Amino acid sequence: MTTMLPNQTLITGLRSNEAADDRSQFAGTSGMDPERQARWREIVDMLLRWLDDPRSCIDEDYDPPTQAAIRAALRRASHGLKGSMVVPTRVAPIGDGGVVFEWQFEPTFIEVEIEGTGASELRSFLGGKLIELIPLGAPEP
């Protein structure tokens, strides 16, 4: 029997690009661990605030996340809220109109970077060295 490490399970889950696009899709999370559900809910609520006011999450020196990037991040967060995906260590704007989800599993670091266009890719690092790069989704039409 093969046991998947948490980061392998996360990467497998992140490869899925099914998504919900509207706010009603973030309800109905029965059966999830209450702590995990609460942490994902915080992320979804933060992204919804950004959707309403993108400039609220950045310093003046950076571009705020674009609507396309925030919507793509919400789609990613909907997977976590509805499923069993590990909660990211951090979700943050990246200053060029994008959003990043980050997971830290020493010595592995995983990130999903969502560009301002909404396109995204997964990067996995081991000991600071890039070991995997996977395109996850194209920008929304």
Report yes or no: 13 and 58 within 8 Å, Cβ to Cβ. Answer: no
Pairing relation of β-strands 129-137 and 90-93? unpaired
Does the pLDDT value for residue 98 go beyond 70?
yes
Which two three-digit tokens encode residue 134? 């996977």
Count how many domains the chain has.
Answer: 1
- Residue 26 confidence (pLDDT): 45
Residues 67, 140: contact at Cβ < 8 Å? no
Question: Is the model more confident about 121 or about 5?
Answer: 121
For 68, the 3-state DSSP assignment is helix
User: How far, in Å, CA of 37 to CA of 39, rounded?
Assistant: 5
pLDDT at 62: 80
- In this structure, is residue 22 part of a structural domain? no
The answer to the question of residue 56 being in a domain is yes
Write down the pLDDT at residue 5.
45
Residue 93 domain-assigned?
yes
In a domain? residue 17: no
Does a structural domain hold residue 28? no
75 falls within a domain:
yes
Neighbours of 14 (CB within 10 A): 22
Tell me the C-alpha distance between 65 and 115, whole Å.
9
45 is in which domain, residue-wise?
6-12+34-137
Q: What is the pLDDT of residues 39-95, one digit of tens each?
A: 999 999 999 999 998 888 876 678 899 999 999 999 989 888 777 678 999 999 998
> Residue 18 domain-assigned?
no
Q: Is the CB of residue 86 less than 8 Å from the CB of residue 10?
A: yes
Residue 23 pLDDT more than 60?
A: no
